[in-house]
């Protein structure tokens, strides 16, 4: 189960639940108050009705001749009665009743004031020194229905309130987090080369410290990387002169000495010094590649550069390079010097690490896809992924220090290009392929 929480989801759910709960509590409270108020109004109507009917009923009964028996009030028109009433004497003898009245719902003896049965609310009133009683009954259903209708009417807005609250919360969070998302994006789009401080204006107060910490970290990182680069560049540069001087002295020693043993030893030292010189050159290239953006200000045709570098190597390994480039120009913002260094490293690798007597294919398409392919043993994927790091090599029998691909990687990173390394090469069962799109446009 994912432990990640989304602000949208958490706040949306809890705020909506909270609003719904408060609304429900409000509905319950309103229902209770409404019921109380309605009871008061209904009771007063019940009382009023009893007091209005009583004088009429008394007059009617007193005007009867002989024995005042039961009389039922006839309905003028057929209708259902909400309020029904009975007029009885003190001993409970029925004298008058409304046409729908059911004596069963009243007690055996009349009572004054309000009383409740399971189904009715009854009000009793007496006249003529408590000899005649009127009781008016109202079904409780009627009251319950009124309270229920009021409560339902109050519940109805919830149908709209829940989605409005969800959408509202979602929208407010999205709006408030707009700048935080911008901060996240501005950190995300940065490659290793861009360590300038991130700046997002009017960030919510709670997120400001994150931006400050990120900027502090970037600043420390930038200083550390700069220190490392300048150290590499300076030391490589400083090594140049003593290395060249030592090589010159060694060569003089070789020509001057007649001793075969000394000559052989001098050759070995010379070889070591040359390796050291190559390493210092590569380190200098790497420091430069990592320091710059590898992009130039104007667009250049890179085909002639590729031809020139390839022809340099053609002299070293005649006939091994198969060059396939378009007649048309391939224009790119990629810096010409950086491109030359990149191609030199790829071709050098293919010649050096590929099978000796097999050709190296260098192809460039019209749309800028450069491929350098050689034959040779298949490299395991886990090793392949590491070759872009400095000083990583797999074949210790060949010359090299493991910096070439790190230089290529630094240049492609600086130019925003993706470098693909494959083994076996595409369309082959073995070998190695380096592929990249050299076209960079504004
Ligand atoms: N074209 C290739 N074919 C086979 N293996 C390769 C190829 N290119 C690179 N490699 C492997 O990747 C390793 C790293 O290459 P990288 O260019 O970084 O260093 P290097 O060539 O050994 O030394 P340097 O380039 O510094 O002189 C190589 O040692 C080699 O094992
Ligand atoms: Mg190399």
Q: Indicate which ligand has the atom closest to the C-alpha of 279.
A: 1
CATH of domain 7-158: 3.30.450
Distance, CA of 93 to CA of 90 (rounded, Å): 7
pLDDT in tens, 252-276: 999 999 999 999 999 999 999 999 9
41-50, 60-69, 364-373, range with greatest mean pLDDT: 364-373
Of 1-5, 192-196, 316-320, which range is least confident?
1-5
Whether the pLDDT of residue 1 is over 60: the answer is: no
Q: What class has domain 293-437?
A: alpha beta
Q: Does residue 423 contact residue 431 with C-beta atoms inside 8 Å?
A: yes
State the pLDDT at residue 69: 63
CATH number of 179-291: 1.10.287.130
pLDDT of 355 reads 93
Structure tokens at 353: 């690490």
Q: How far apart, in whole angstroms, are the C-alpha atoms of residue 437 and residue 52?
A: 101
* Protein residue whose Cα sits closest to atom 5 of ligand 1: 353
- pLDDT reading at 200 higher than 90: no
Instruction: Name the pLDDT band for 360 (thresholds 50, 70, 90).
Output: very high
Domain ranges for the chain, please list them: 7-158, 179-291, 293-437
- Which DSSP letter does residue 224 get? H
Q: Which H or E run contains 420?
A: strand 419-422
Q: Is residue 419 predicted with pLDDT exceeding 90?
A: yes
| Residue 227 clears pLDDT 70, i.e. is over it | yes
pLDDT value of residue 70? 65
Intrachain domains 7-158 and 293-437 with the same fold = no
Q: Indicate if ligand 1 lies below 6 Å from the C-beta of 402.
A: yes
| Cβ–ligand 1 contact at 49 (below 6 Å) | no
- Looking at every residue in the chain, the average pLDDT score rounds to 88
pLDDT band at 202 (very low <50, low <70, confident <90, very high): confident
- What is the reported pLDDT for 433? 96
Res 73: pLDDT: 64
For residue 12 and ligand 1, the question of a CB distance below 6 A is answered with no
Question: Could you tell me the distance, in angstroms and rounded to a whole number, from the CA of residue 398 to the centre of ligand 2?
Answer: 10
pLDDT at 68: 60
- Picking from 182, 202, 186, 184, the residue whose alpha carbon sits closest to that of residue 194 is 186
């Amino acid at each position: 189960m994912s432990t990640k929480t989304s602000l949208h989801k958490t706040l949306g759910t809890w705020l909506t639940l909270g609003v719904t709960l408060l609304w429900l509590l409000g509905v319950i409270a309103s229902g209770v108050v409404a019921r109380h108020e309605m009871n008061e109004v209904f009771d007063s109507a019940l009382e009023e009705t009893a007091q209005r009917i009583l004088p009429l009923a008394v007059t009617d009964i007193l005007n009867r001749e002989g024995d005042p028996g039961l009389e039922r009030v006839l309905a003028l028109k057929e209708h259902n009665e909400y309020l029904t009433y009975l007029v009885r004497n003190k001993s409970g003898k029925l004298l008058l009743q409304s046409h729908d009245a059911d004596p069963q719902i009243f007690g055996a003896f009349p009572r004054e004031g309000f009383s409740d049965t399971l189904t009715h609310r009854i009000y009793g009133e007496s006249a003529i020194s408590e000899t005649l009683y009127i009781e008016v009954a109202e079904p409780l259903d009627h009251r319950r229905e009124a309270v229920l209708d009021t409560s339902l009417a109050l519940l109805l807005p919830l149908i709209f309130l829940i989605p409005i609250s969800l959408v509202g919360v979602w929208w407010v969070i999205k709006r408030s987090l707009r700048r935080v998302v911008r901060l996240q994006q501005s950190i995300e789009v940065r490659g290793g080369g861009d360590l300038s401080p991130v700046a997002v204006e009017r960030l919510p107060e709670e997120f400001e410290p994150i931006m400050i910490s990120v900027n502090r970290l970037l600043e420390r990182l930038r200083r550390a990387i700069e220190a490392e680069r300048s150290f590499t560049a300076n030391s490589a540069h400083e090594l140049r002169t003593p290395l060249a001087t030592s090589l010159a002295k060694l060569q003089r020693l070789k020509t001057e000495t007649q001793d075969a043993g000394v000559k052989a030893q001098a050759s070995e030292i010379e070889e070591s010094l040359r390796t050291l010189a190559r390493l210092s050159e590569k380190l200098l290239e790497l420091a430069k590649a990592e320091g710059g953006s590898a992009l130039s200000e104007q667009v250049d045709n890179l085909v002639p550069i590729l031809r020139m570098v390839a022809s340099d190597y053609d002299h070293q390994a005649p006939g091994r390079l198969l060059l396939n480039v378009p007649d048309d120009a391939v224009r790119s913002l990629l810096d010409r010097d950086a491109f030359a260094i990149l191609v030199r490293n790829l071709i050098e690798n293919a010649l050096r690490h590929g099978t000796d007597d097999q050709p190296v294919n260098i192809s460039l398409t019209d749309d800028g896809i450069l491929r350098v392919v050689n034959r040779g043993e298949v490299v395991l994927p886990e090793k392949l992924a590491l070759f872009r790091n400095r000083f990583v090599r797999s074949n210790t029998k060949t010359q090299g220090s493991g910096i070439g691909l790190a230089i290529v990687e630094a240049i492609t990173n600086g130019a925003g290009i993706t470098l693909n390394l494959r083994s076996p090469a595409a369309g082959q069962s073995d070998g190695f392929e380096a592929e990249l799109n050299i076209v960079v446009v504004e």
